[in-house]
Chain A
Amino acid sequence: MEEQKHIFSMLVDNVPGVLSRIVGLFSGRGFNIDSLCVAETTDPAVSRITIVSKADAPIVEQIEKQLNKLVNVRKIRDLTGPSSVKREMALICVQAKAKHRAEILRIVDIFRCKVVDVGLEHYTIEVTGDEGKLKALLKLLKPMGIKKIARTGPIALFREPN
């Protein structure tokens, strides 16, 4: 069966060890984690965790059920597909030699990113977008030389009905 990227978004009790339970479940049962984001919601007792995992359909079903079974997991939703908005942020430190500096700034402008740190030999760019946007940006910056990159991995929310 074909493996596909799935975005699982879950609300969990904000208690010590909850992340370890979730990560342990993935490693113990041989599920993949591509990326993972955790932060508090407006209710400090509840955190939202977003996990991207590559899996085939039966495994996706197991992941969802197994996560649901954890006592600290309140709610889980598979946000794969167009009915949700997904965004990822990245900080990209790109080599900026004199001959490339203008070109990099043009790209930053086109992609509506921001330069958040600048030096004699580098720019650090902050970018937010979906997977496609980040991919396109990285493709354009690669020839200049990417020194370092930090990505958050996607977060997602279900689109509310109009």
Chain B
Amino acid sequence: MKLTGAQILLKTLAEEKVDTIFGYPGGAVIDIYDELEKTDIRHVLVRHEQGAVHAADGYARVSGRVGVCLVTSGPGATNTVTGIASAYMDSIPLVVITGQVPTHLIGNDAFQEVDIVGITRPCTKHNYLVTRTEDLAHVIKEAFHIARSGRPGPVLVDIPKDVANTTIEYKPPGPVNLRSYRPNYSPNMKQLQKVVKLIRKARRPLLFVGGGAILSKASPEVTELAHKIQAPVTATLMGLGAFPGTDPLWLGMIGMHGTYRANMAVDACDLMISVGVRFDDRVTGRIDTFAPRAKIVHIDIDPTSIRKNVQVAIPIVGDCRLTLNSLNQLVDEIDLGDLSSARKDWLSQIDTWKKTTPLAYKQTDVIKPQFVVEKLFELTGGDAIITTEVGQNQMWAAQFYHFNRPNRFVTSGGLGTMGFGLPAAIGAQIACPDDVVVDIAGDGSIQMNIQEMATAVQQKAPIKVVILNNSYLGMVRQWQELFYDKRYASTCMDCTPDFVKLAEAYGALGLRATKPDEVEAVLRKGLEAPTAVIMDFVVAKEECVYPMVPAGAPITEMLLV
């Protein structure tokens, strides 16, 4: 069978069961687009390549599948870099296909040429420059395999124009067999036996879960273990939803803007079972004071995550789900005695923290951003897919929207990419057309990829954008208020567009609330609308996110409301 490179690419994508591609055409990928048009694969035309990667990322996070992007060479490729780095930091499986100038022009500073493989080497899990059409099918298969296996991540494949338009005799690629890449999924049982011993002895155990628990679909196992050993659970920003947010054992998020009880529990616990986390500085605060009384068990598929930031008592390399599954079985075999009395002091201590120092804010006659998120939680029954931008909006979403299921909270955790939420919401909505998808945004970050409103309208993706509009770059302003004597250097956005008119200009619905008693009506109207909506909530200008642990301080040193 004679096929062109472009035909081989699309055939291989179909074999990988790709149903949606987010992208933007250009000279170097015109042959691929010409073939794409003839297939059943849905192409989502974005308005900026960064949007394509974030949308594919949102699609991947809610569906658990590999997100796919297609962009042209040069600027098309460089525009993907922020999106790729965001996905890399959060371990999201993507395959990013970039066009490249023809092989004979590579290295010649040709029109729209850039060494994207060189540029993305440190922010991809792996990347390829395909130099022969014969290699294409195999490389694409490898790319998908690498993206989704082990610790997932983005893989970039750079395809020169002549590789795409050369016709060859097609041979189906064999199975992927990489001698140098064999992720280890099954845990060491001896290590698990040690964990069981620690569980038996622990008086104040704590489960600490991160994005790895969600990526490995370990939520049921996390929940089972927590209930079985009666351990309270905290999570990183990336781990929200891995354990039900309305469960009595739930502590709320850990870290810089974590709940009082979660951070205090980390300090007091004598056993920390950490699952799929990497002990990021926003989580640990000052590292030498982190969990000082605890024996730390660290379960992660990536050996480099273990002992990178904290020393642990028991390292376990393995898939979170498989590992917890085995651990649950081992725990079943032992007698833990009367847990209700053994845990009484620990759980009542946590309850006291919860009662004395809950997440709180003061209601006034202006709209409080926390109130908007609370109302949104109430009106959606906690069942919406929430994407966020980055900053205060993100933290309030994490604190006041309670996630009972995994894959419902889509946020740029590691890289902290402003402009992520809107395109990610479009990707999530396309993956889950029947779900309510809400982007909780700030007036600053929404402007970073606002052009994607046109994509949402074109794709008939009825996403809901909730702008917590304080006319500030709120999180930086908060730092300036607290640590820079209120010198608000360049954080005041004196000129902000009229978001209602802007929504209308894009052909979406625009709504606004300026008083607390308008919030519910606006949210209801926005959520019921069959189209894309921007809801502009004019909120208290100088509200801060609390609790807050100053950067580099121990996480028990929290600034409170």
A62–B125 touching, CB < 8 Å: no
What residue of chain B has the Cβ atom nearest to residue A72's Cβ? B180
B302–A69 touching, CB < 8 Å: yes
Does residue A61 face the partner (Cβ distance < 8 Å to B)?
A: yes
Q: Which of B37-79 contact A (CB under 8 A)?
A: none
Tell which of B118, B129, B146 touches A71, judged by Cβ atoms closer than 8 Å: B146
Does residue A128 face the partner (Cβ distance < 8 Å to B)?
A: no
Tell which of B117, B181, B302, B308 touches A17, judged by Cβ atoms closer than 8 Å: B117
* Contact A73 to B180, CB < 8 A, known contacts A21-B121, A24-B121, A28-B122: yes
What residue of chain A has the Cβ atom nearest to residue B155's Cβ? A71
A65–B303 touching, CB < 8 Å: yes
Does residue A58 face the partner (Cβ distance < 8 Å to B)?
A: yes
Task: Specify which chain A residues have a CB less than 8 angstroms from the CB of B178 in the assembled complex.
Answer: 71
Does residue B179 face the partner (Cβ distance < 8 Å to A)?
A: yes
Q: What is the 8 Å Cβ interface bit string for chain A, positions 12-30, against chain B (1 contact, 0 not)? A: 1100110011001100100
CB distance from B128 to the nearest CB of A (A): 9
CB distance from A14 to the nearest CB of B (A): 12
Main secondary structure of the interface of A (DSSP, over half): helix
Q: Which of B302-330 contact A (CB under 8 A)?
A: 302-304, 307-308
Does residue A6 face the partner (Cβ distance < 8 Å to B)?
A: no
Tell which of A20, A21, A62, A74 touches B304, judged by Cβ atoms closer than 8 Å: A62
Q: What is the 8 Å Cβ interface bit string for chain B, positions 61-102, against chain A (1 contact, 0 not)? A: 000000000000000000000000000000000000000000
Q: Which of A34-74 contact B (CB under 8 A)?
A: 58, 61-62, 65-66, 68-74
Q: Which of B288-312 contact A (CB under 8 A)?
A: 302-304, 307-308
* Contact A71 to B307, CB < 8 A, known contacts A17-B117, A20-B118: no
CB distance from A135 to the nearest CB of B (A): 34
CB distance from B535 to the nearest CB of A (A): 41
* Contact A71 to B121, CB < 8 A, known contacts A62-B308, A65-B303: no
Q: Which of B169-204 contact A (CB under 8 A)?
A: 178-181
Task: Specify which chain A residues have a CB less than 8 angstroms from the CB of B308 in the assembled complex.
Answer: 62
Among A13, A24, A69, A75: residue with most chain B CB under 10 A? A69
| A114 vs B506: C-alpha distance when bound (angstroms) | 78
What residue of chain B has the Cβ atom nearest to residue A10's Cβ? B180
Does residue B126 face the partner (Cβ distance < 8 Å to A)?
A: yes
Q: Which of B123-159 contact A (CB under 8 A)?
A: 125-126, 129, 146
| A25 vs B181: C-alpha distance when bound (angstroms) | 17
CB distance from A18 to the nearest CB of B (A): 10
CB distance from A50 to the nearest CB of B (A): 17
B307–A58 touching, CB < 8 Å: yes
A20–B146 touching, CB < 8 Å: no
What residue of chain B has the Cβ atom nearest to residue A75's Cβ? B180
A24–B180 touching, CB < 8 Å: no
CB distance from B368 to the nearest CB of A (A): 42
Task: Specify which chain B residues have a CB less than 8 angstroms from the CB of A74 in the assembled complex.
Answer: 179-180
B304–A71 touching, CB < 8 Å: no
Task: Specify which chain B residues have a CB less than 8 angstroms from the CB of A61 in the assembled complex.
Answer: 307
Q: 6 shortest A-B CB distances, which residue pairs? A: A74-B180, A65-B304, A71-B126, A65-B303, A71-B181, A28-B122
Q: Which residues of A contact B (CB under 8 A)?
A: 12-13, 16-17, 20-21, 24-25, 28, 58, 61-62, 65-66, 68-75
Q: Which residues of B contact A (CB under 8 A)?
A: 117-118, 121-122, 125-126, 129, 146, 178-181, 302-304, 307-308
| 11 chain-A/chain-B pairs, Cβ below 8 angstroms | A16-B129, A17-B117, A17-B118, A21-B121, A25-B122, A62-B308, A65-B304, A66-B304, A72-B180, A73-B180, A75-B180
